[in-house]
Amino acid sequence: MQDLLHWAIEHSDPEVLKQQAYGAAAGAPTPERLSDLQELMEAMRQEPSEAELIQLAANVLSNDTSDDQQRLDSLEALAYLVEPIDNANDLKVLGAVGPIIRQLESGTPQVQASAAHVLGVAASNNMRFQADALEAQPRLMHILLQIALKGHAEATPRSLYAAGAFARSGQEGAALFLSANGLQALTELLKDPLQRASVQRKALDLIADLAGLEINLQGAESAGLHAAVLSSAVQSGWDIKERAMLTLAALLKADAHSVHLLNALGAATKLQENWSELQDVGYREELQQLHASVIHMLASSRANAFPDEL
């Protein structure tokens, strides 16, 4: 809270602060000035409310003369302030939703990253704020995914985080994600050889969570998505490999369509070929067990689908 108070003071009327500082520095205080200083100190002890801080941040974001650092400071303060769900729900009433979203639409990549982070925090498990944000900008999911695909070191993971907060909220949020070509975006992030491992982990976790919501992952981009997850399971380092195996397991449990696609991709054979590599390089036992479990799930599903082949 002290950092927020310093921030609030820094973004208050500079002329007022200048006059106060000048008066405080001009020699020994007279009784009248001492009284003024005491009033000033008392005023500084009275902490502004969180609603006032949110309004102040929104004003900074709405001011065309604010520079990037001022915008970043305001967004950092908002990310802290919207952690309580009540504050997040007050953003619309306080006029802050629009100014935050506009930073996504016209800000620098760093500002976009900070704005996406605020939206992700506010949207987490909060259907009311999600509705407010989508009312302010119906194409919000498209904007977040477009930013994610630009590959900026800060903006990509934070915009994916925000998109995931909406997508994980339930059937409606997941449907919104799919309608914005979210599966294609996740596929591209996984297939990009230059993409950071942290982003690929986020993408895999989101795919697994979407599968857990039992939504329909069929579509033109579905085959490419399953192929990208399988490729991550057999070609990546152990941390990505583990996330990919967990995602494969979630997909196999989700629906028959994923089972069909993975069998068509030869997943069982590719994973079996990868099994010796896991043992040769000494991958930890938990990953080996997960790997064996997914192979068993594929074999069982194929046996159920084609009993005459056994």
- Which among 180, 202, 231 is the end of a domain? 180
Burial of 200 (0-12, 13-18, 19+ CB in 10 A): buried
Does residue 243 lie within any of the structural domains? yes
Distance CA 91, CA 88 (A): 5
Structure tokens at 85: 């769900």
Does residue 5 lie in a domain region? no
User: In angstroms, rounded to a whole number, what is the distance separating the alpha carbons of residues 130 and 140?
Assistant: 10
Torsion angle, alpha carbons of 196, 198, 204, 206, to 10:
-120
Share of the chain above pLDDT 70, in %: 80
Q: Judge if 170 and 227 occupy the same domain.
A: no
Residue 160 and residue 234 in one domain: no
Q: Which domain holds residue 298?
A: 218-310
Task: Please say whether the beta carbons of 74 and 109 come within 8 A.
Answer: no
CATH of the domain at 130: 1.25.10.10
**Close Cβ partners of 291 (under 8 Å, ≥ 6 residues apart):** 245, 271, 274, 275, 278
- Is 202 within the bounds of a domain? no
For residue 13, tell me if it sits in a domain: no
| 191 in Cβ contact with 235 (< 8 Å) | no
How many structural domains are present in the chain?
Answer: 2
Query: Do 56 and 175 have their domain in common?
Result: yes
107, 115 contact by CB (below 8 A):
yes
* Tokens, residue 87: 């504050």
Domain boundary among 180, 201, 236: 180
Count of positions (residues) in the chain:
310
pLDDT in tens, the chain (310 residues): 445 545 554 555 555 444 544 454 455 567 776 776 676 566 555 678 999 999 999 999 999 999 999 999 999 999 999 999 999 999 999 999 999 999 999 989 999 999 999 999 999 999 999 999 999 999 999 999 999 999 999 999 999 999 999 999 998 999 999 999 999 999 999 999 899 999 999 999 999 999 998 777 777 789 999 999 999 998 878 889 889 999 999 999 988 889 999 999 999 999 888 776 666 555 667 777 888 889 888 888 765 654 454 4
Q: Which residues contact 285 (CB under 8 A, 6 or more apart)?
A: none
pLDDT in tens, 216-256: 777 778 999 999 999 999 887 888 988 999 999 999 998 88
Inside any domain, residue 39: no
Q: Given 156, 180, 204, which residue is the final one in a domain?
A: 180
User: Which phi and psi (to 5°) does residue 301 adopt?
Assistant: -65, -35
- Shared domain for 171 and 232, answered yes or no, is no
Is the domain of 165 the same as that of 247?
no
Q: Is residue 118 part of a domain?
A: yes
Degrees, nearest 5: CA angle 27-33-35: 140
pLDDT at residue 277, rounded to an integer: 67
130 and 63 share a domain? yes
pLDDT for the residue numbered 255: 82
Nearest CA-CA partner of 137 in 108, 162, 111, 171 = 162
Q: Which pLDDT does position 285 carry in this prediction?
A: 76
